[in-house]
Amino acid sequence: MKKGIIVFLAALFLLNLLSGCSGTSPAADKPKTDESAAGEGTSYADFMKTMKDIKGYGDQMAEIGMTVQSEYYYSFAGASTSALRYAAEYILWLKGEGDTLSSFTSDSRYTGWSRIAEINYSSPYPAYFEGLLLEIQGKYEESEDPYAWSSIMPMFPEEGLDFYYLKKMDTDSLYALRDQLRELEDSIYTVYHPVITGREWDRCMFDKEYLLGCSSDHVKSGDYPEALYYAETALKIDPFDAAVWQNAAFCSFCCSDLGRMGAYMDEALVIFPDDENLNALKQSMLDAAQEMEGGK
């Protein structure tokens, strides 16, 4: 029961962290920039501190064996941090640094908005920064769509985001920011290794209900591996709903992956020990698994 309380408090803490990630920070906390460059906007120093704190919650969940919860925090911090780092690199390239964008960013861990978004679809930052870079390039109509998608995501800060001042920063300051973000990425991706499939970016993938619906549709069509993909994606963006755990365990069972099913049930029941549906599902799956074993 203690683990369950920690998990829920951590979820609330994440929401509070994101809501406090705007405004400016003392200049001593930032890489040096021209005073006129930063202006008013979302503080990248606060942003990095927030992501470090979220990564720290991932560490705490990992220490107590909560694998799915730790992935939730690690992947959110990773996708968000990588998005800002890629944005800084993109702006440097627009300022004349490097040859092609792909060659200039080739020594970074993750590049491209869709690839970064797949690390955790619940992070609004890949879509937001995609819109920002389109706006910076004068592609105003094209920027509207990613801006709009990011703004309706549950994890988008209530007070909004404003990183437009990055365009005005000099190259030295942008390189300093990029390097700090790379260090933060290193701390995240040393303990967390995201699986990137290269799928086309479905903009609705931040929506838990949408993911559960896709999973259900694939179960009905008999495509169990695809059903499990959507089930696990839903679990990665919202591991605080018992129904999401039930679906992931059920889809694992449909794929005959009893080890994965058992791991999901065990972790789910740490968070929701008294959930009747989870306990009933566990018992029915155990019974079915025994029958399968006996039929060999």
The CA distances from residue 35 to 22, 38, 160, in Å, are: 18, 6, 22
Domains, the chain, ordered by start: 2-189 (no CATH), 207-294 (1.25.40.10)
Helices (H), the chain: 2-19, 35-38, 44-63, 67-94, 101-104, 113-119, 125-136, 140-151, 171-189, 208-221, 224-237, 242-254, 258-271, 276-294
Residue 221, φ and ψ in degrees, nearest 5: -85, -5
The model's confidence at residue 288, banded by pLDDT at 50, 70 and 90, is confident
Predicted local confidence at residue 282, as pLDDT: 79
Residue 241, φ and ψ in degrees, nearest 5: -130, 120
Mean pLDDT of 11-20: 56
pLDDT tens-digit readout, 53-71 = 999 999 999 999 999 999 9
pLDDT tens-digit readout, 210-242 = 999 999 999 999 999 999 999 999 999 999 999
pLDDT tens-digit readout, 173-190 = 999 999 999 999 999 999
CB 36 within 8 A of CB 168: yes
The model's confidence at residue 36, banded by pLDDT at 50, 70 and 90, is very low
The model's confidence at residue 1, banded by pLDDT at 50, 70 and 90, is very low
User: Higher model confidence: residue 272 or residue 282?
Assistant: 272
The model's confidence at residue 52, banded by pLDDT at 50, 70 and 90, is very high
Predicted local confidence at residue 295, as pLDDT: 61
Closest CA to 267 of 75, 6, 53: 6
Stated pTM of the model: 0.87
pLDDT tens-digit readout, 139-160 = 999 999 999 999 999 999 999 9
pLDDT tens-digit readout, 101-144 = 999 999 999 999 999 999 999 999 999 999 999 999 999 999 99
